[in-house]
Structure 1
Amino acid sequence: MEQLDALAAELGERLKARGETVAVAESSSGGLISAALLGVAGASKYYLGGAVVYTGKARMVLMDLPREAMAGMRSASEPYALLLARTARERFGATWGISETGAAGPTGNGYGDPAGHTCIAVSGPMEMAVTIETGESGRAANMVAFAAAALELLKRATA
């Protein structure tokens, strides 16, 4: 968690200094991305909101993404992560949207992805998406690794 705190503190200062904002849509990180960003004093200057989009129902209710919006894509993929990041950014009117979607463990998901697989995306003045494979099955460790990778991607995008 110290790694998350350090990354979030650096990002928080960067976003505040630039007058930029962020919104989050995360899945298998279970809210850790948002928790890290909100753990920084002054987070209300840059954090607009977020959602844990863990199920199909959550995707529909919290992100207002109907099945049709996902035509030709599956969760735990880079295109889906980009869709979530864009949607979070647009719905909150944020400078940046960040998303994470994967399989924390101890088993994989229904799409054949192993535990430790996640896709992360950032949408804003630039867009980026990456796939992460930790090679680990430990759920808690993967959740932290996923959140750290998401914050690192936002750090890279805002550099």
Structure 2
Amino acid sequence: MSSAAPAARVAAPAARVAALLVARGQTVAVAETSAGGLVSARLLALPGASAYFLGGGVLYTGAARMGLLGITPGEMSGMRPSTEAYALLLAERVRQRLGADWGLAETGAAGPSGNRYGDPAGHACFAACGPGSRHARTLRTGGADREANMEAFAEGALLLLEEELRR
């Protein structure tokens, strides 16, 4: 197998998302935690990204999420970071903060071990919020390979957004 084949497979969801956003004349903003910027990198790697990508951030800590997205301690109270509810909060807030049509968020435990909240390595939640839409999903890869999990998290987030854009 050539080295181009995996790259093409990985880029495919981002390319489809980009095409759907452009066709709709819509934009996206991204909040990532454990994918480490891979979601944004895939969207930005495509020519013409400025037509649909407004911005985003790798918000690895609670302090970063509070500071950049304006999430309050009260909103975070009793909410574990690696949940669908938390991913929905991140997606909606990044959407609002950047004035995007769509907010896309990813949060989880990349590994090689689980996080301090008891989520195992390979556990992630994604959320996409847009016009009349708020959906979240959980993924469990079952693996401790950090890089593979990060790749799966990025792809999972993009696939969720693609599904929402096709509704």
When normalised by structure 1's length, the TM-score is 0.97
2:142 maps to 135
C-alpha distance in 2 between matches for 1:54 and 1:63: 12
C-alpha distance in 2 between matches for 1:95 and 1:63: 16
C-alpha distance in 1 between matches for 2:143 and 2:8: 20
2:88 maps to 82
Q: Within 5 Å, give how 1:80-119 maps onto structure 2.
A: 80-119=86-125
| 1:47 partnered with 2:46 | no
State the 1:138 CA deviation. Answer: 0.2
The number of residues matched between the two structures is 159
- Identify unmatched segments of 5+ residues in structure 2: 1-6
Percent identity of equivalent pairs: 55
- Residue type of the alignment partner of 1:61: G
State the 1:141 CA deviation. Answer: 0.3
| 1:19 partnered with 2:25 | yes
C-alpha distance in 2 between matches for 1:128 and 1:4: 22
- Identify unmatched segments of 5+ residues in structure 1: none
Stretches of 4+ aligned residues off by more than 6 angstroms = none
C-alpha distance in 2 between matches for 1:62 and 1:10: 28
State the 1:137 CA deviation. Answer: 0.4
On the 8 A contact 1:3/1:148 being kept in 2, the answer is no
C-alpha distance in 2 between matches for 1:19 and 1:46: 8
On the 8 A contact 1:4/1:147 being kept in 2, the answer is no
State the 1:93 CA deviation. Answer: 1.0
Tell me the secondary structure at the aligned position of residue 158 of structure 1: helix
C-alpha distance in 2 between matches for 1:115 and 1:152: 20
2:130 maps to 124
